[in-house]
Chain A
Amino acid sequence: MGPVSTPVVTPRPPPAPTGPELPMASQPAVPFLEIETLRAREFLPAAKEALSAMVQEQAQGKLIRPVFNWAGRNSLFPLHWGLACCAIEFAAAFGARWDAERFGVLPRSSPRQSDLLIVNGTVTWKVAHKLITLYEQMPEPKWVIAMGNCATGGGPFRTAYSVVPGVNKLVPVDVYIAGCPPRPEALLDGILTLETLIRERGE
């Protein structure tokens, strides 16, 4: 026969000592106003602590930033602004045949209502500061697509005396689309690439 296992008896832990009696129980009732004051003193620090924790989480983007990210990347509103022949393809992309609005892309007429700047054409030094003004009028978060060879790097006019060799010398660019001009499919591909980019960045 094997060894017989004997049950180990562990002593029960002693009962937890009861805390000191509440002052309210033993002491005579305090005046009503003083009770209210005491409660407020306890409530306000607790509320402040809880609220500041929420604010910190919000500041780190943990609470609703994913929601905004999802909503924002599925409703990119480009500025309705045309510079050169790429603007014709830009317009065609929003027509019936390609219908960019099925991706939630809808051109707006004011930079203050848009979050995507599609630079569709040759940027000259004359128009450069107007482009910067439009970009700065757009609310954050905002993105820039350089559409076509001219906006990407000056295109065939790179060495001309009046052309900005690439719009990335003026504003930060997220997506470059090659082509002279790119077809509307290429523009839609660029917009979908930007959506992927926004999801990956988690902004």
Chain B
Amino acid sequence: MKPEELKDNLAELLGPRLLAVEPFAGMAGRVRFERTAALELFRHVREVLGYRHLSMVGGIDWVDHREVFYVAWSDERKEYVLLSTDVPADDPHLESAAPVWTAAVWHEREAFELVGILFDHHPDLRRLLTPEGYAFHPLLRSFKLHEPEDLEVKTRNV
């Protein structure tokens, strides 16, 4: 699927909430959308366009805002599509993709613990790789490397 074709398809559905569709790294395209359209877009991409396999979910801290992206794979088309949206840093909420792709549960837990994205209506938004009660989102740029003893004390006091 060409990026222009994808853009026409999604513009009907989302209207102005679709910001852009750019060619990206051999994928079908990099879809930029408003975060209010998240669940609607996920459902359309999986059920109508046939991207049934969620490959990865990631978060990026751009200091003034944070970006969340989803990469999905279609077995019929043999290609990926990348869905990307921005959330403000002081209000990092996004609707969870777990009702659409079950694989999103663990991926979103990881994005939550490392970059601090808060996924609404997530069935089980706990930390995945760091212990319960860990006080940091370590892939944020505001996270400074601590002396090991500092980290230990702060981790245990939580």
Contacts and interface: CB of A to CB of B under 8 A. Distances in A.
Interface of A: 125-126, 128-129, 154, 158-159, 161-162, 164-165, 169
B134 A125 contact: yes
A161 B136 contact: yes
Contacts, number: 30
Given A125-B131, A129-B131, A169-B152, 5 more contacts: A125-B130, A126-B131, A159-B148, A165-B149, A165-B152
B145 interface: yes
Contacts of B145: 159, 161
A40 B133 CA distance: 66
B146 A162 contact: no
Interface residues of B, number: 15
Given A125-B131, A126-B130, A126-B131, A162 B152 contact: no
Residue picked from A125, A154, A164, most chain B C-beta under 10 Å: A125
A158 B148 contact: yes
Interface string B112-136: 0000000000000000011100101
B134 to A, nearest CB: 7
Contacts of B134: 125
Nearest to B129: A126
B148 A154 contact: yes
A169 B156 CA distance: 12
